[in-house]
Structure 1
């Protein structure tokens, strides 16, 4: 017997009831979720008993973090303070030559010298104060083939910081002025003080020039006393009052700066401005990473070969440094630092003789480009190795170690800091001085050291990238 077929109206009624039940169930579920969310959002004080374990963990991590940062600050900043700690005990490394040419070559060798022997004797028995204790060294004129220009060449070659030259005609002119009444006699023509400010303007202005003044002024004063005594015993001396400058001060010093540090706007180019070159090279990595990630994210494209990704990252970074270093270099050009002067002979004093004539700006740009790459690629490697926030500590270390060994004379620093000569910023400063001021050139070595940093950084780049991926995968596993 066949069961009766239910009417259409009955089925529709049951469907409506079923739909209504499902709708009520959904509303009850949503109300329960909202109730649960409201319950979970109830706030408590930070000292609530339920937060005890969280508080203890926060205290522990805070202490570890602060003590770690404190230890890092003490360790790294000590490198900066330490570079100046031994200055006074090592001032004797700043060599000062005293070279006596007085009456040693014809036609002046027929005169008995007075000025030369007196000055050299004063420096031989010199007992300077600690702040004036430069490397005073009496050198025989024969070491320079009796040629004062060779002494100047030695200062340019950075064999010494300063040379005090007693001219070959010093005594002859002084005696003639007294005996013949030469009213045009100039006491400063007796000696020359040769130095090179552009070699290191901070060292010259802070330590060398003050020590020279403290030492030379008493020497001049003592010679005045000695000379007055000699005149008083010399019955053949004519009326000395016709040339009073030949009596007092009798001798003086002509200051000759082979390479003055000028204009003042050049200071950032060889000091503080280079700090920003480091910072720009470091933070350019953060700006470029989102661009690199377009190839990492598999959205609308197949996976890219790893070696090509690495090549892209290296090449794109180097091209970025190429453009950014141009922008940095143009600032010096815009503020009218000379870049088109002709070079001059080494022994001749001159303002801003550019080593490469009108090509000096291009060489300067290339130096900054290679330097920025040498500073930036290690930052990219360390950012991948360390991750944030530890990469920021690397930046601090990188800035301080480069600045400490580049902006201060390593001659008066502890021997510990001699590694700074291999640091990128030291080579940037050294090369910039050569280009801008025509100082002694070691531009080949400067570029070689910078290219070495770049080569090592490129070799390490794939390994740093692998480590970054491993570290990120490990972090994801911990979260999972």
Structure 2
């Protein structure tokens, strides 16, 4: 005969479970099995009263149990796998940074490295119109100075460029302005005769060497590198010629004229000992504020296009969820074009605020020309940024900064230094936006030769068209990768 355990109720629950349930409901004490009926009744009555008091109708409040994250030490076994992941990421990240620095930064450093090695690419014109003793040593001295020298006599220059004797000076100016040569030395005719006359004719004027030896150049062609790297080639020739003139040419002439030196004014003798070349800067770089829009400001142009993309990214994402694909692409084209329109205006207003002369080349239209050129430049570099950052956002978001550094350095390395003083590998700059933007702004601000503007604007427009053609493909890759993500 089976007996029921007195510790179990009708449902089979143990007394302990019943006790815990009663305690959870707020009953202070559950009567023991040996308690009197009155005690049990009191307990039940207390339970009922407590239940009624804490029922939902009377504002029963339940406390939710909450799991709290337990923090631990760095060397805890609980983060062992995370530490291994850290080591792997540390090695990979530093390898990536090392490759970036050693490859991309080397591109910029290389543009400044060993410039004398490329002096042979600097074309320099020398026209010696005097055929006397004063200019006789010049050809041999020129051979000792670095540079790609083109030396002509008066007759050979006329024959080569099909000009008359009276047109020689004008033709030299034209050749320098059209960037056929970096600079020229023009030795005017009769230099020797005028020097001798000043030492034997008491009524003659003192010899002025700077009127017969003329250096002609345009520093605006390269504001930062011409006077520091190219002009010293001519001043080196000047120094060598001064030494030769003082030690050989002038003593020989004075020996031949020793009988007449006593009759000429002493100022003539003193002036004859001074040999200086005059410097004619046909398109001078005379405002250092121009380094803003011509150099560092162009780096800011690239960064501004990146910032506008970040600022509008939330709006792009919101529209992407609601617009059809053709409408979304059209929206991105329009919003980017409008953004660059205003960014380029703000960029030009900074130079205007600092009194940069926009009218040197195009008069009152200069500001408008600069604005439109800045607009095209931002569209060219900004479109490339949008395409690449869209791809990186889909494939490798953490490498977006790598692209920005690469894009900046790739553009400025061939743009801030003359092609004739860098390795031929930097000729890729001819097809990049910043290089052509620099060429346009130098024409606007410094009035240098405008013959390359067609190529400059053509390259910018080609970049804009290419970016617009590639953007739908980049957007498709982004959308595909986004769908694959969990």
Alignment TM class, shorter chain as reference: 0.7 to 0.9
Query: In the alignment, which residue of structure 2 is the partner of 1:163?
Result: 184
* Structure 2 residue corresponding to 1:420, chosen from 388, 413, 429: 429
**Corresponding residue SS for 1:99:** strand
**Structure 2 CA distance for partners of 1:245 and 1:151, relative to 1, 3 Å:** farther
1:469 aligns with 2:479: yes
Query: In the alignment, which residue of structure 2 is the partner of 1:226?
Result: 249
Asked if structure 2 preserves the Cα contact closer than 8 Å seen for 1:86 and 1:414, the reply is no
Question: Following the alignment from structure 2 to structure 1, what is the Cα–Cα distance between the partners of residues 341 and 375?
Answer: 5
Quote the offset at 1:139 in angstroms: 2.7
Question: Following the alignment from structure 2 to structure 1, what is the Cα–Cα distance between the partners of residues 464 and 429?
Answer: 17
Query: In the alignment, which residue of structure 1 is the partner of 2:302?
Result: 278
Residues 322-366 of structure 1 show CA distances to partners (whole Å, capped at 9, x for unaligned) of: 1110110011111111122xxxxxxxxxxxxx2212211111111
Query: In the alignment, which residue of structure 2 is the partner of 1:185?
Result: 207
Quote the offset at 1:135 in angstroms: 2.6
Query: In the alignment, which residue of structure 1 is the partner of 2:193?
Result: 172
Question: Counterparts in 2 of 1:55-74, with a 5 A limit?
Answer: 55-74=83-102
Question: Counterparts in 2 of 1:403-414, with a 5 A limit?
Answer: 403-414=412-423
In the TM superposition, structure 1's runs of 4+ consecutive aligned residues that sit over 6 Å from their partners are 16-23
Question: Counterparts in 2 of 1:84-123, with a 5 A limit?
Answer: 84-102=112-130, 113-123=132-142
* Structure 2 residue corresponding to 1:135, chosen from 148, 154, 168: 148
Quote the offset at 1:472 in angstroms: 2.0
1:248 aligns with 2:269: no
Query: In the alignment, which residue of structure 2 is the partner of 1:261?
Result: 285
TM-score, normalised to structure 1, is: 0.82
Query: In the alignment, which residue of structure 1 is the partner of 2:171?
Result: 150
1:200 aligns with 2:219: no
Query: In the alignment, which residue of structure 2 is the partner of 1:300?
Result: none
Asked if structure 2 preserves the Cα contact closer than 8 Å seen for 1:240 and 1:247, the reply is no
* Structure 1 residue corresponding to 2:379, chosen from 368, 373, 384: 373
Quote the offset at 1:390 in angstroms: 1.4
Query: In the alignment, which residue of structure 1 is the partner of 2:76?
Result: 48
**Structure 2 CA distance for partners of 1:288 and 1:95, relative to 1, 3 Å:** same
Asked if structure 1 preserves the Cα contact closer than 8 Å seen for 2:176 and 2:182, the reply is yes
* Structure 2 residue corresponding to 1:294, chosen from 318, 333, 339: 318
1:460 aligns with 2:470: yes
Query: In the alignment, which residue of structure 2 is the partner of 1:321?
Result: 340
Quote the offset at 1:267 in angstroms: 1.2
Out of 286-295 and 413-422, give the one that drifted further: 286-295
Quote the offset at 1:43 in angstroms: 1.6
Query: In the alignment, which residue of structure 2 is the partner of 1:346?
Result: none
Question: Following the alignment from structure 2 to structure 1, what is the Cα–Cα distance between the partners of residues 319 and 417?
Answer: 44
Question: Following the alignment from structure 2 to structure 1, what is the Cα–Cα distance between the partners of residues 333 and 303?
Answer: 18
**Structure 2 CA distance for partners of 1:22 and 1:61, relative to 1, 3 Å:** farther
Question: Following the alignment from structure 2 to structure 1, what is the Cα–Cα distance between the partners of residues 375 and 134?
Answer: 52
Question: Following the alignment from structure 1 to structure 2, what is the Cα–Cα distance between the partners of residues 333 and 21?
Answer: 77
**Corresponding residue SS for 1:97:** strand
Residues 66-122 of structure 1 show CA distances to partners (whole Å, capped at 9, x for unaligned) of: 21121111111111111122412111211222111125xxxxxxxxx2223232332
Quote the offset at 1:451 in angstroms: 0.5
Question: Following the alignment from structure 2 to structure 1, what is the Cα–Cα distance between the partners of residues 264 and 424?
Answer: 54
Residues 245-288 of structure 1 show CA distances to partners (whole Å, capped at 9, x for unaligned) of: 45312x43110001110211111111111111110011110111
Quote the offset at 1:446 in angstroms: 0.8
Query: In the alignment, which residue of structure 1 is the partner of 2:370?
Result: 364
**Structure 2 CA distance for partners of 1:62 and 1:27, relative to 1, 3 Å:** farther
Asked if structure 1 preserves the Cα contact closer than 8 Å seen for 2:380 and 2:463, the reply is yes
**Corresponding residue SS for 2:285:** coil
Quote the offset at 1:211 in angstroms: 3.0
Question: Following the alignment from structure 2 to structure 1, what is the Cα–Cα distance between the partners of residues 231 and 425?
Answer: 27
Quote the offset at 1:22 in angstroms: 9.5
Asked if structure 2 preserves the Cα contact closer than 8 Å seen for 1:196 and 1:259, the reply is yes
